[in-house]
Each structure stands twice: as structure tokens, then as C-alpha cells.
Structure 1
């Protein structure tokens, strides 16, 4: 008993420990999701600190997969595999969670975008939008629509890009998020620039700058300003560039280091001053831009300084910056080549993993198909065996029935032969007595003729005629008696043949009964007796047939032995004997035979002649049947 108590306590402690072990996961996931927008790097660190996440519950693991993919995307980590996000997509689809499902589809699209499968990425973004419209997560809808618009813009599908960006702006307004609204204006400005509608483009960029400046979102401001300048250059609106430079410098003074990459800003300002012909100011800001650690900023600044010094005919400095430009370009090219190799390797690994997954899926499908095929074959074999068994059982039942009919016919014929034999023997006996009487009369007439008067010729003639008539009559009767004797001999021979045939059929019948018993379960064989004990009602014909088989099985072919030993018994007599052998009472037997109780008693008494009994003796009919 103590052992069971200790076992229960141990299981309780293990369960409590497991609950405590998992209890820290949900708060961690919630904290990571809270930090996702403001500090995505901290969110990623939290998520990557989870050890063996695949051992979490299905819901926790799917949430972890979604959040870690989202954190890597926000930290600009290039995606190389969809294995994790696939877990989240499948889980949240099954859970009917449109909020998480839409987000999972979006990040799956981001992964395919990084892998270069733009068509698949666009399909997933569209699907994410359809699912997301069932929710009120307008920021996610804004993100998905703007990303879809950007893909359309890259493919130069201007009308679809414009529609997607307009949808994104509407979702931004619905979310009441000013940063998203600023980005939305910039995206529409970008869409107008694709169709070279420069004035409309500048209007939306100015709206974006206004909103970004009001909320001091310097990343949104940087995007709007950079694209604004590009539009100004393409539209030859250099008059607006000086205003842009003032805004940029003002933003730098107010935001300090919050305005993105300052060296990039210096490069942009220097390049703008170069375009408007202010060489000294351009050189000042371009040299500040050379403090950057970004190779693209360094190469662009070096090239601009090369152009400026070449215009001023300071060729030594121009050559110096030109050499720096090509050095940076060479470094960029090497990095790009390296990144290209890494990208190719990542794509190869991804395709290899996809191929392995496909092979694994095909293998699983093959295993499932083989299992289903094997199951179908097994079911077919079982069905065929059942069908064969039923057919054989049916054939055996039919054969038993035919044998029973043949046996009954032979037994009836044998009984008829015995009856004819008895009648012929009785008739032959009568004829023999008649012959004796006639012979006595014949002798008497002979004596009378011998002692009669020879002179009385008339009397002699009369006696002679009577003797002749008696002799003829005796011959006729003798002939009839001889015919009966011959007929009886033939009947006896036939009866012997019938007995042999009956014996052969009984052996065959016993074999079939034995085979049937081996093939048929006992519960099936004796269910009728159980039913008879529970319900006292008259039996149907097929039930009587089954009952006779059961009695044969239980009592060493009782029915067959009874039919052979007492051929005068009819079917009703045999039924009565079987019910008595099964020890049913007279009242129960009356119910089964559908007769009165007194009629059962009288019928038993009437069976004495058929059994060759003058009286049943001690114990009566029931005792005789029980001992038989």
C-alpha cells in the first residue's frame, strides 16, 4: 500500500515540476511579442534563449515559430528556410485563428520573397489579406498591403501597385497610427513616381514629411526625404532641394543621432549641393560622409568628390578620390560576390531540404498507401473467407437437409415394405389353412369314393367331379401361396438393401453433422435452447431442424438412433422424444408443440405400440427416453 502512495506522490511531484517548467514559457512569449516593435533585437534574444522549443506544447511551439520568424524579419536577418513558419501556418490554420494565421502567412511570404520566389510570395500576401480582413488588426493589413504594393512596383505593374498602396493607406488611417500614415503617403508618392506624375508624387511625399516631422519619426522622415529628393532630381525641381536640406539639418539638430545614418545624410546633402553648383558646401558634407563605415556611402562620396575636383581641375585630388572610389567598388563587388555565393548556397540548401521533405512526404504517402493496400487485401481475404465459410455452411446445411430427406424416404419405404411383408405373411397363413382344409375335404371324398357302391355310377361320377374341383382349387391356392412367398422373399431382399442404404446415409449424415459442429461455434448451436428456456412459444420449421441437430450433438446422434431403431415413429413423435430428452416439462412441451398439456400425456401413452411396449414400466416414457 505504501508503495502505491509513494508512486502517486512521485507522479504528482513530476506533474507539478512539469507545470512549473512550462509556466515560464507563456510570459516569455508575451514579453517577446511586446518588445517586437520597439526592440526587435531584444525580442529575438529572448526567443532564441528558449532551449528545445520543439518540446513545448503544440500551441506554444507554433507561437514561438511565428514570433522568432517575425523577430528575425524585423532585425533584417535574411530568411533561408520556411521550416519554422510552416509549423505556425499549419497549426493556426487548423485552430481557425485568423489573427495568427494571417500573420503567419505574411511572414511565410516574406521568406519566399527573400528566397527569390516572388510569385509564391505574392500569392501568400494575397491570401494573408483575405484572412486578415476577418480581423481588426489594421497594422498587419497595412504591412501586408504595402509589401504587396512594393512587389507590384518592382514588377512595374503600376495600377496594381497604386491600388495596393491606397489600401495600405486606408488601413493606416483605420489603425490611427501616425507612423504608418506617413509611410502610406510615401508609398503613394512612390507609385505616382512610377508613372512619372512628379507633381502628384511630390504632394504625397510632402504629406509624409509633415506627419513624420510632427511625430518626430525620423525613420519615416528619412524614407520620405530620400525619395523626395530623387523625385526632385528627376523632375528638375532643384528649387525644392534647398528646402529639403534645411529640413534635414533641422531634423539632425533636433533628433541628434536618431535620424538614421548621419553620414548617409551628409552624403545626400553634399550630392545635392553638387547638383546646385555649391561646390564648397558639397565638399564639406561629402568629406564628413567619408567618416561612414558603409561602403556604398564611401564609394558614392568618393565619386562625387572626384567629379568636383575634376571640375576644379585639381587632378591630383581627383585621381586620389577616383582610386578610392574603385577600391570601395572592388570591396563592394567582393562582398556582393560573397553574398551571392551565400545566397546560392542558402537556396541550394533550401531546395535540398525541400527535395528531402518531398521525398519524405512521398515515402510517408507510399507507406500509408501500402498500409491501406495491405488493409484492403486483408479485408478482402477476410471477406472471401467469410463468404467461403458461409457458402460451405450453406452447402453443408443443404446437404444435411437432402440427406435427411433421402433418409426419411428410405425409412418410409422400408416401413411400407415391412407392412406389406406382414400383410403377405398373414395372407399366406390364411391360404395355408385353406389348403389344409381342402386337403382334408379331398381325403374325405377319396374315402367316400373308395367305399361307394361301384354299381351306383352316378354317385361315383359325382364324387369324381368333386375331387377334380377340389384338386384344382388346391392347386390355385397353392399357386397363390407360392406367389406370396416369392413376393415376401423379394420384399425381404429389398428391405435388406434399404437397411444398407439407410445405414450408409446415417453414416454420411453423422459425418456432416460432425463437420458442421466443428465449423459452427457452440454459441450459435445452443442459442436456440437458451431462447426456448426464456420464451415458451411454438417453434418454426427451421428452428425444429436446428433443434434436431442440437439433440444429435448433445446425445450421441439420438435422433438418428431413434429413427433406425423405431422406424414407425413420425416427425411429430421424434419432436416429442427430443423435447423429453432435453428434460422439458409437459407444460413446456405443450407450448412448443402448440397443444394442450393433457394431449402431451396422451400422446406419450399412444407411443407404446410404436416402441413395441405393452407398458412403459417404472419411470414411464420419460425414463425410457432418458435411458435410450
Structure 2
């Protein structure tokens, strides 16, 4: 174990000891937060040792810190349920800093799950908060992420806008290094992607100097590549060739060979280009594919040249389609900037007021239309559901008619009446006359039957009938178990009468069958554990 790991271990043990000794959730969260920047792995270990807080504020803070720790430890997650707890809480609080962080880490998770548009909007919200806090560092962090999303899908102008913002924010921040060096590199790349090669070259040269100063080989190679590409498009071919050759000495990327070959061909040094050895062609190295295609043209092998060109076109078309399918542009993030501007400056201009009224009115009209559509849809769904229930109840009523032919006069009379009604309706239904009005009549009849069987009067009739024909079974249950809930007595009555679980769920206003199964299981357990001498009888009725 090296010294660094030993120190971290000691810190972890100390923090855990403090947590255990005090048992104070706030102190534990404070400790994790204090370790987050310097030792995020320790913060994550500490958070793992904390039980999820029960109060809303601590739970929201825990959700934020845990999401932050995962991100800082390079653990990519796609489930945003945890960070959503923090977002929901801090949106209703006055803690703007933690709201900003909640939006930021929510956006990171949305990016991981490839919900790029939602990630863009979340970063825009976080950027608004950071601006309100005058926190240039977090303004830069959010602007950098927005830039990456736009750049990923080739929104070059939007990407350039946010690359400039990123660079400016980090330069104003007290914590600008090494973020400012990355921002400089990405600003050079953004200018290059917009065909602004002179600006891109100057920035890329500055980035290579900065990378040398801070001994960052990754940024150096990336900046040097931008320099070489800019030299090529500015027809500074000697500089371009020299830069590619230098890069090939420190980077084994096959695409550099393609870029060098293209530069040789553009300069007219065909022999040097022909001497470059190409081991294999892979579409993921477009410059290498382009170079090979150009070599085929030099050799007058147009068939193979065209084949490689088609490969590149297919790849580019795929990238373009992917970009278009994202469906976002500058307006998605500028909406929130515009909204924040209105709130901060409290614009009282009458034209803006009228615009807001118009938008609100339009939204209200749309809302009303959507609600009407929803109500109609819900009504149709209820009718369809009730028709399905009617099928089931018709079978149920048919069963009851046979079961209670010699007893339970009141029930038989009720069920026979309903059965005749259903029989009449379904006769027309099965003859192919399933009109909208007929379906509604069936639905209405189902609702009347359900309402009838749920009334206190009908429950009393059913209970009296059971007591009359089943040796006072309900009365015995009430005597042996006087503390049962009314719903338990109803459950017992319906079960003893032989109604299905589906029917009982309807009568008890339960949306899920599991609720009936669970209640019946609890009632059985209570009866089995009792000293009642009638428990076997009760259980037999519940087991139907």
C-alpha cells in the first residue's frame, strides 16, 4: 500500500468513526461534502456507509452528494431516480447553489442515458443558476457540457457560441486551471469546425504551448492535430506535413497516416504518398479511407476509388440522420436564458406582457382541448372496461343462479333480475349489433349492479341471508373477531357467497387484485392464530 492510499484509508476510518460516534446525519453529510473535491473516492465510501435519511432535506442532500460522488469517481449511471429526489426538493427551496448542482448532475446522467435534449435543457437550467450566483467556474462547467452536446451532433455554430462562453467563464474563474486549457483547445476545435482556420490555428498554437507548460501530452497531441489540419486548409503544406510527421512519432492513430498522405498528394509529392504503407482500411479512420481512395484515382482504378467514397458517404449520411433526429437547436437552451432574463430584469413592457398573455391563452386553449380529449378517451376506456366486466359478471351471475336455487331467496331474486337484463343485452350483442349505444347500456347496467351490491342495505341483505342459510356464520365471525375492519367483514361475506377475486376487488373499490389477495391472506392468518372454535369454518369460506 503506497503512502497516498494509506492516508486516504486513515481519513476514511476517521470519518467513519466520527459518523458512528455521533450518529448525526448532517455531520456525516458534511464530512462527505468536505472530502468531495480532494478525495471523491473517500466521500463515496462514506456515503455508502450512511443509511438513507428519513427527513426530506437530508434525503435530498444525500441524493445530490451520492450522485456527485459517482460522477467524480467516473462511475456512469443511467438511472436518474436518485438525483431527481434532489432536483424536486431544491426546486422548491431557496438553496440556489444546490439546485444548480442538482441540475448539473441530473444533466450528466441524462447524457449517459443518451437523452441528449433533456441533458441540454438541464445544463441550461444549471447555467442560469450559476449566473445568478455569479459563479464563473460552474458557468464554465455547464457551458462546456452544452458545447460537447452541440459538437457531438454537428451544430457547429451553436457549439462555437458555447465554446467561447466556456473559455470566457473559466478565464474569469479563480479555479480556471486545468479547465481553461481544455476550454482553449475546444475553442480552437470549434473555430476549426466552422471553417475559421486562421482563428483556430492561433488558438491551437496557444493550446500546444499551454500543454507543454503543464506537461499534458493528451492536450498537446489534440492541439497539434488541429494545427496540422489548419495548415492543410490554409495551403501551408510544408508546415502541415511536418506537423503530421511529428504527431506520428508520438501517436499511433492510423488516421494520421491518411492525413499525411492527403497532404503529400495535395502538394504534388505523389511518390512520397505512394511510399506510405497502409496495412488495412477501416471506416472509423476517414482520412485513411480518403487517402486510399485518392491513391486509387492516381492509379486510374476508379472502381475501387468510388467504392471507398461510397463507404464514406454512407457513414456521413448516418451521422447526419442521427444529428437531425435529435431535434434540438439553439432555441432549446436559449428559451431558458430568455425566461431568466425576463425574471431578473422584470420587464414591464406592454408588448411583452401581451405576448405572455397570448401564449398563456394559447396554452389554456390547448390544455382545455387536451383535457376534453382525455375525458372522452377515459369515458371510452370505462365503457370498454365495463363491457369486459359484464362478460365476467354474466358468467358469475349464471353460476350464482345455479348455486342459490334452493336458498338465499333475496340474492337469487336480485341476481336473476340482473341476469335476465344481461341476457337480453348480450343477445343483441352476440347477434352482431354491438353498437355504441348498446355497449353504453351494458356499461351502465354493470355500474348499477356494482353500486347495488356495494350499498349498506344490500350488504345487510347478503349478511342476513348468509346467517339464515349458513348457521349464523357472519354473526359468529363478528362475535369471535369484534375488532375486524368493515372491509374485512365485507371481504368475508363476498368470499362466503362464492364471488371471484375479480368481483370482490370491484366491490371493495380495489384497483389491483393483489390488494384483495393480501387482505384475504392477512384475515386467514389472523383467524388461524386465534382460539376461535369456528376458525376452520371461517377458513373454509375464505378458501373458496
Give the structure-2-normalised TM-score.
Answer: 0.42
Q: Which has the higher contact order (CA 8 A, sep 6+)?
A: 2
Higher helix share: 1
Larger radius of gyration: 1
